Structure formats: structure tokens, C-alpha cells
Amino acid sequence: MKTALKGNLAEKPEIKTVSINGQDRSVIDTAIYIVDATTIGEGKESQSIPFRITAWGERAEKIASMEKGETLTVATEFKANVFTSEDGTVVKQARWNVSKIDETNELASQQTKLITAFSKGTIEKLPEPTEPDKQPDLQEKSATVEPGKEIGKAEEKTME
């Protein structure tokens, strides 16, 4: 399951280096507090829920440069992990693995506005999500018009 999360860092993230298959990798394991949308509204006190996130490589380094309380918006994928620790204990974890960081926090701001409006009843239905990969990029379109032909609506061709 993939989703975008926006919240405030629960702590000053600490970057760690772990060895996986003989290669050292940077990792962050931290929490962000997200406002529970069901607690938004008149006369309600908003509450926050902690979500555990994990980031690797460059994303881990970016998050490590942030401070406790800073707003972070990330694209994530839910992962359930089961492994045996060094002492032989079987550990089960649920984590949101960070796949992308929205440094402007714009995506989550738009998402929050929609969810708030839906929760308050201002809008009846949330818009259908669109897949960015399925949206044509206007810079990748071309039109061909033969010389001497009248220019009308050119047929768009998506380059692949």
C-alpha cells in the first residue's frame, strides 16, 4: 500500500549505518506525528498519531539534517518485516518506507485541504486520484502538419 504522509518529526533523527550483504547503507528509523483527520472540526481538539517511517540512502541523509518538530511530507510504501534479532528473538515490525521526500510540502497541503473539506461536509466526494505516470507530459508531445495543408487541430502523438 502506498500513501503520502505529512507530519512533524517526533524526535531529532539519527542516521545509522548498517551492513546488508556486505555493503554499508545509511538508514533512518524515526516517527512523525500526523493529525488524525477525524479529530478536525468545530469543538474538537485535534489529536496526533505517531507513524514509524524508515528511509535509506540519500533520503535518510536528508531527514537526518532535519530537527525535531519540523514538517516532513513523504511518499511511502507500507512494509511488514519479520526477522530474527541477534539474540534469537523473532521481531515483527510494521513500517512506512520512504520512497520520496516532498521538500515543498505542497502535495500534503493539498491533500489535507481536501480531507478537511470532506470531513466537514463541504465537499461530498473526494476526487479520484490520478497516476502521474499516466498523465501525458505536454513537453513530450509533437504534431506533424504537411506543407500546404490547412492548419487545424493537429493530432497529438505521445512519444514513448
Tell me the pLDDT tens digit for each residue of 79-115. Answer: 888 888 889 999 888 888 999 888 776 766 676 677 6
pLDDT of residue 130: 60
Return the biggest CA–CA distance within the chain. 80
**131: confidence class by pLDDT, cuts 50, 70, 90:** low
Q: What integer pLDDT is reported at residue 159 of this predicted model?
A: 41
Region 56-60: mean pLDDT is 94
Q: Does pTM top 0.75 for this prediction?
A: no
Residue with cell 516532513: 72
Please tell me the distance from the alpha carbon of residue 36 to that of residue 112, in angstroms, as a whole number.
11
Query: Does residue 134 surpass a pLDDT of 60?
Result: no
- Whether the pLDDT of residue 153 is over 60: the answer is no
Q: Please give the pLDDT value at position 5.
A: 85
Domain ranges for the chain: 2-154
The C-alpha cell at 105 is 510540502
Is 92:82 a contact under the CB 8 Å cutoff? yes
Rounded average pLDDT over 119-123 = 76
Across 22-44, average pLDDT: 81
Helix (H) or strand (E) segment spanning residue 120: helix 106-120
Tell me the residue ranges of DSSP E strands in 10-158.
16-20, 23-35, 48-56, 71-84, 90-101, 141-142, 157-158
Q: Which CATH architecture has domain 2-154?
A: Beta Barrel (2.40)
The answer on pLDDT for 148 being more than 50 is: no
What is the helix, strand, coil percentage profile of the chain, to 5? 20, 40, 40
pLDDT score of 41 more than 80: no
